[in-house]
C-alpha cells in the first residue's frame, strides 16, 4: 500500500493562500489525499502538479450553493466518502462606525457563515460514510472579546462558533467529531492589510504545523497562541465597563490609521 492510499480523505477549503495553503502542504506531506477548494485555480493547480496522486481539484465559489453541491458530488464520485472536512475559507472587512455599511456585514456573513453552511450540507453525507468522521471549522479568537471595527468579522465568526458547537451535539449520534480552530493573528495575505498592531502574530506555516499536530486527537478546540488566548479570555472576564474602557483605548489608538 502506498503512503497516499493509507492517508485520510480530506476536503480543505480556502486552500490557495494563508493558513489553508500552509495546511495543505503539511497534510499532503503526511500522505493524506486532499480535495482542495478556492477560487484561485492557479494556486490549486500548482499543488496538484506537485502531488498529482494526492490532490483532487475542487475549485469554485463557495458562496454559490450549486457550485458547492457540484464539488461535493465530484468528491463523492472520486473517493466515495470523506474522513475529514476542514472549512477554512473566509474573509475579513472592518467597519467604520461613522460610515456603517450593512452590506459589508452581509458580504462577510455570506463568505464566513453561509458558504461554510453550504459546505457542511455537501460534506455531511460523505462524512457519514467514514469510519471516523471529523468536521473542522476555522473560526477566530476574536469571538472571545469584542474588538473595535470587528463587528462584521467578529459577528460572522461568533455565528460560526455557535453553529459548530451546536452541530457537535447534534452530530454526536452519527459519530462525527467537531473541532473549532481559533487562531490569533497569523501572517496571511488577509492580515497583511491590517492597519493596527497584531501581537504574537505567527507565520502561516507555524500555525499550520500546530493545527496539523493536534487534528488527529480530534479535540473540541485548537486555539493559539496560548498566551494571547489566555489574555483575551482574561479581558473577557472583566466587567463590561472595564471591557468598554479598554476597547475605547484601542479604538483611539487606531483612529488616525487609514482603513486597508
Domains and CATH numbers, the chain: 3-253 (3.40.50.720)
Q: How far apart are CA 220 and CA 47, in angstroms?
A: 29
What is the model's pLDDT at position 252?
55
- CA triple 51-55-57, angle to 5 deg: 130
What is the model's pLDDT at position 23?
98
- Show the low-confidence residues of the chain (pLDDT under 50): 1-4, 253-260
**Radius of gyration, alpha carbons of the chain:** 19
What is the model's pLDDT at position 254?
42
What is the model's pLDDT at position 201?
83
Give the E-state strand segments of the chain in sequence order.
9-13, 33-37, 55-57, 84-87, 134-138, 177-183, 186-187, 202-203, 221-224
* Segment 185-205, tens digit of pLDDT: 888 777 766 666 677 889 999
Amino acid at each position: 500500500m502506498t503512503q497516499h492510499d493509507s492517508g485520510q480523505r480530506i476536503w480543505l477549503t480556502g486552500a490557495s493562500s494563508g493558513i489553508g495553503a500552509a495546511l495543505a502542504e503539511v497534510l499532503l506531506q503526511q500522505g493524506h489525499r486532499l480535495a482542495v477548494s478556492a477560487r484561485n485555480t492557479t494556486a490549486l493547480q500548482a499543488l496538484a502538479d506537485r502531488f498529482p496522486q494526492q490532490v483532487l481539484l475542487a475549485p469554485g465559489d463557495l458562496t454559490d450553493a450549486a457550485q458547492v453541491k457540484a464539488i461535493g458530488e465530484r468528491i463523492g464520485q472520486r473517493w466515495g466518502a470523506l474522513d475529514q472536512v476542514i472549512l477554512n475559507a473566509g474573509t475579513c472587512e472592518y467597519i467604520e462606525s461613522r460610515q456603517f455599511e450593512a452590506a459589508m456585514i452581509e458580504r462577510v456573513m455570506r463568505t464566513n457563515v453561509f458558504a461554510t453552511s453550504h459546505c457542511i450540507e455537501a460534506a455531511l453525507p460523505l462524512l457519514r460514510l467514514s469510519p471516523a468522521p471529523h468536521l473542522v471549522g476555522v473560526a477566530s479568537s476574536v469571538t472571545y472579546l469584542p474588538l473595535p471595527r470587528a463587528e462584521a468579522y467578529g459577528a460572522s465568526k461568533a455565528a460560526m462558533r455557535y453553529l459548530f458547537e451546536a452541530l457537535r451535539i447534534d452530530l454526536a449520534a452519527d459519530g462525527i467529531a467537531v473541532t473549532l480552530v481559533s487562531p490569533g493573528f497569523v501572517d496571511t495575505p488577509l492580515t497583511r492589510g491590517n492597519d493596527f498592531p497584531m501581537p504574537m502574530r505567527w507565520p502561516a506555516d507555524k500555525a499550520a504545523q500546530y493545527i496539523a499536530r493536534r487534528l488527529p486527537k480530534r479535540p473540541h478546540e485548537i486555539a493559539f497562541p496560548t498566551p494571547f488566548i489566555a489574555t483575551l479570555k482574561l479581558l473577557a472576564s472583566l466587567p463590561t465597563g472595564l471591557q468598554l474602557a479598554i476597547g475605547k483605548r484601542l479604538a483611539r489608538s487606531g483612529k488616525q490609521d487609514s482603513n486597508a
